[in-house]
Amino acid sequence: MSAGSEVVRLIEAQLTEAREQRASLEARAVLAITSSGVLVTLQLGFIGLIRTQPPRGVPATAQISIGLAILCFVCSGAYGILVNMPRTWKVADPQSLVPFIRKDGWSGDEERAQREIARLELNILIRSRQILTEKSRQLTRAFICELVGVTVLGVTTCILMLDS
C-alpha cells in the first residue's frame, strides 16, 4: 500500500470521526434545550407559588436573582438552538469530479485521482472541524448558562428561606 493510500485512509477515518462528533454535539444540544425549558417552567411555577404567599412581598434581591436565573436558562436554550442550527457543510464540488469521469480521466493515473480525492476530502475535513469547534463553543456556553442559572436559583431559594 502506498503512502498516499494511507493518507486517504486517515482522512476518511477523520471524516467519520467528525460526523460522529457532530451527531454527539447536536444530541447534547437538544438536552440543553430541553433541560433549560424544564427549568424555566419549574421556575415560573416557583414564582406562582411565591405570589400566593401573604402580601409581605418578595425581597428585591430575590426578584433580581429570579430574573437573572430565567435569563440564564433562556440563553442556555438559545445556545443549544444555535448548535443545531443548519449549517452549510462543505462537500465535494461535483464539477471538480467531472474530469475523472471523462474517458481520459477514467482510465488515467490512479495516483493523481487518489491525490485529488484526498485533497477534496481534506478540504471537507478542514471545514467540518471549523464548524465542530464553533458548535462545541456554543454547547459549552449553553451548559455554563444553565449552571449559572441553577446556581442563581439555589441562591434565590436561600434568600427566600432566610427571609421567611
pLDDT tens-digit map of 79-90 = 999 998 887 766
Work out the pLDDT band at 148, boundaries 50, 70, 90.
very high
> Torsions phi, psi of 88, nearest 5?
-85, 115
Asked whether the predicted pLDDT for residue 142 surpasses 90, the reply is yes
Mean pLDDT of all residues in 96-125: 76
User: Grid cell 493523481 — which residue?
Assistant: 112
Asked whether the predicted pLDDT for residue 74 surpasses 90, the reply is yes
Mean pLDDT of all residues in 118-139: 90
Q: How many domains does the chain have?
A: 1
Mean pLDDT of all residues in 65-72: 91
DSSP string, 87-103: -------HHHHHHHHSH
Mean pLDDT of all residues in 3-27: 87
pLDDT confidence of residue 46 = 75
CB 89 within 8 A of CB 129: no
Is pTM, for the whole model, over 0.85? Answer: no
CATH number, domain containing residue 50: 1.20.1270
Q: Virtual CA dihedral for 115, 121, 122, 128, nearest 10 degrees?
A: 180
Mean pLDDT across the chain: 84
Asked whether the predicted pLDDT for residue 99 surpasses 90, the reply is no
Structural domain boundaries, residue 9? 3-163
User: What CA–CA distance (Å, rounded) separates 159 from 53?
Assistant: 15
pLDDT confidence of residue 152 = 93
